[in-house]
Amino acid sequence: MENKPGNHQAMADLLRVLSADAVQKAGSGHPGMPMGMAEIAYVLWKFYLKHNPKNPTWVNRDRFILSNGHGSMLHYALLHLCGYDLPIDELQQFRKLGSATPGHPEVGVTPGVETTTGPLGQGLANGVGMALAEKLLANEFNRPGFPIINHNTYVFFGDGCLMEGISHEVCSLAGVWGLEKLICFYDDNNISIDGEVSPWFNENIASRFKSYGWNVLGPIDGHDVFAIKNAIDAALSSKEKSFENGPTIIICKTIIGKGEPEREGTSKAHGEPLGVDGIQRMRQELSWDFLPFEVPEDLKKEWDCSDYGHALEGGWQNLLENYKKSYPALAALLETRLGKNVINPEELNDLVMEFCISLAKTPLTVATRKASQNFLNKLGPRFNGLLGGSADLSGSNLTMWDGSVPVRKSETGTIRGNYLNFGVREFGMAAICSGISLHKGFLPYCGTFLVFSDYMRNAIRLAALMDQKIVFVFTHDSIGLGEDGPTHQPVEQAASLRLIPNLHVWRPADSAEVAFSWKAALLQDGPTAILLSRQKLPSFRRNNSTLKNIAKGGYILIEEKQPDVILIGTGSEVKLAVSAGEELKSKYGIKSRIVSMPSTTIFDQQSRVYKEKVVPNHLPKMIIEAGVTDYWWKYKPDVVLGIDKFGESAPEEDVFEAFGISSRTIVDSVLCLLRNDRNNLRG
């Protein structure tokens, strides 16, 4: 990096002007952060970031995350100038319908964007997941002379990210895991939307991060390119860091909106266009004599990273070719792990069928959480891409399988294992799993009680928005958990999760349905929530045709010729429907079709013909689920048996009885329903 302050300043100012011009043209946006972090972004992207604009998905690229995603125009300006497929026209379409430059960065929309950010703190959490995946993959696949997986994760974040509680959850874990290749830049400008933050955010950030086990650098002048360079050099130097210090935070003192003399350093610079007068003042302050969106040719050439990136990846490709010759089996495994399916679909299907055939021979009466662990015990040893864990509930969620190894940092700083003890950090756990999934190489899963999915909800939502393959294992799925009472008994959570677009939700009734829910979760795109019982449930016998229909989300479990009524159940309530069906037939001669619907989200995707075959409109129907009833009315049932209030603390049997979730209630409801139907027919 040559000592040419004038040229450095022009390179950084180009980021400022492009960002401010785009926000001004859009009529909305956040110019303050891009103008305040311009020098930091310039130094990192021009001199340190390892990437290839012509191949944004190159495996060994450095990852860059804008956790303070409201400053998205900084990212877009960087991508455009470095040579990504993001032409100047897209910058001019910032925040417009159908553009590649949405208001906050979205993975899959803009080439070079690694994750979807905006909800503060979650980008930082994703970065922790990416750095963890990098470190575990490097430990598994690298060999002497072959650092095939060897890249850094860089994160920008601000005061807002550090105020969010998720930042504490994930930064604590990053220190425990010793993620030395995670390097974060704290935009310490002391300003948020409401003004100077000191009245409500005055903690000692350096001490806070030292207590996590981080390497703390600064405060530095975030507008001094040489101070920034020295800090990054220190962060990358093994001599400056110990394994105990792990990740690095560089505290950068910056001025929000720097370059607009009337607004810089104030909340007015944060989240609104500078205005015509402000844009003019900025150009005068920076001595910028170019038109909006005009990129001077000399700066454009100097910014372009295409040749640099092509050469970087080319060197890595040569290394990979030699690696394949020396370690062909490892190379083949790595290629599989970095592909779309970490797990071979055919092998997985065989495993599921073997599991279900064994159940047919010896039916099990077990909680579905235990059935999930039984399946993991078969799955885990055969597929080494699983990386899972629990929020301090491993013994309750049963997410640890036989042979799984807890992830631990050794005295030399390496980490090994495939099971993550997240501690009581549900929100951070979910967002870290998104980072692991985004990185590639592992299929992440994580567990907690269903009621605590509320702690995780925004991270689950972002996983669904990004279409990331993650398995959320939620146990203790109903009032059936008993004595812990309403604070732990979920009644609205299943319904609310089903409302999240792209999230597949399964509530299996027995071991076979558990196996199919795991199969779907591991193969289909997007995240999956599997809701599992604490209480023991029987296994149901099925023929091959019925067994395969589980994959359709809803199917006929027990059929009668010319049934009088359809009973639809999910999870633990399917056994109640079966029991009620038997009583209705033996005592009253009423024939019931029993439909198990483990996944409404999958069932809704089936053809109209199939759905009408399973749940025809001409028959009266009743739905049974121990949760809120509103969700179920879209299926036009005659009766919904559920719980539209919070639970009670008592043994399982007493709670179900108190709320009328029983086969007796089902029988009485059907008798009443059919009596009314017959009276209506007579009328």
HSE of 279, CA atoms in CB hemisphere, 13 A: 19
Whether residue 339 is predicted with pLDDT greater than 90 in this model: the reply is no
What mean pLDDT comes out for the span 230-255? Answer: 84
Q: Are 274 and 31 in contact (CB under 8 A)?
A: yes
The set of residues, in sequence order, having a beta carbon less than 8 Å from that of 13 and lying 6+ positions away, is 38, 259, 286, 288
Task: Report CA 34 to chain centroid distance, whole Å.
Answer: 26
How far apart are the C-alpha atoms of 276 and 285, rounded to whole Å?
14
Enzyme catalytic residues: 426
- Taking 50 as the threshold, does the pLDDT of residue 683 lie above it? no
Residue type for position 611: K
Q: Strand order of the sheet with strand 63-66?
A: 63-66, 153-158, 182-188, 248-253, 215-221
Decide if 92 contacts 293 (C-beta within 8 A): yes
Task: Identify the pLDDT of residue 243.
Answer: 47
Closest by CA position to 211, among listed 258, 176, 187 = 176
Please state which of the four CATH numbers 1.10.10.2120, 3.40.50.10800, 3.40.50.920, 3.40.640.10 is assigned to the domain occupying 551-682: 3.40.50.920
Task: Tell me if 345-537 shares its fold with 551-682.
Answer: yes
For residues 149-173, give the mean pLDDT. Answer: 98
β-pair partners for 64: 154
Tokens of 354: 């073997």
In this prediction, residues 149-155 reach a mean pLDDT of 98
Q: What is the pLDDT of residues 191-227, one digit of tens each?
A: 999 999 999 999 999 999 999 999 999 999 999 999 9
Please give the pLDDT value at position 411: 85
pLDDT of residue 361: 84
Map out the domains of the chain as residue ranges.
5-311, 345-537, 551-682
Q: Is the pLDDT of residue 238 over 70?
A: no
- The mean of the pLDDT values for the chain is 95
pLDDT at 186 over 50: yes
Token reading at 510: 């027995």
Q: What pTM, to 2 d.p., does this model score?
A: 0.97
Q: Which fold has domain 5-311?
A: Rossmann fold (3.40.50)
pLDDT of amino acid 682: 35
CA 141 distance to own-chain centroid: 25
pLDDT of residue 677: 64
What stretch of H or E contains 47?
helix 38-47
Class of domain 345-537: alpha beta
Return phi, psi of residue 602, to 5°: -80, -40
